[in-house]
Amino acid sequence: AKKNAGNEKYKSKEYAEAVALYTEAIALCPDIAAYYGNRAAAYIMIEKYDSALADALKSITLDDTFTKGYVRASKSCICLGDFAKAVQVLQKAP
């Protein structure tokens, strides 16, 4: 329910609210990669790239087949100016 509410906020471009809802979803179910991946996407939209990177990396730690996690981690690295790490992340993607 929290994830779906977060998705609705994200679609409405209410990214900070989406982050809060994804955080609640993570508190309830901390082992679901998509929750971290979705929060990473919302963090990217509000330019919190360090937080986005941490969440994206957590998502692929939980599920190494979660392709969106690799993309979001790489995007975060690019936004942080770490192009070499962005390439490394993508090279690990399935």
Q: Is 37 helix (H, G, I), strand (E, B) or coil?
A: helix
Average pLDDT over residues 4-8: 97
CB distance 29 to 58 below 8 Å:
no
Residues with Cβ within 8 Å of 36's Cβ and at least 6 positions away in sequence, in order, are 22, 26, 55, 56, 58, 59, 62, 69
pLDDT 10s digits, 20-67: 999 999 999 999 999 999 999 999 999 999 999 999 999 999 999 999
Regarding pTM above 0.85, the answer is yes
d(CA 53, CA 88): 13
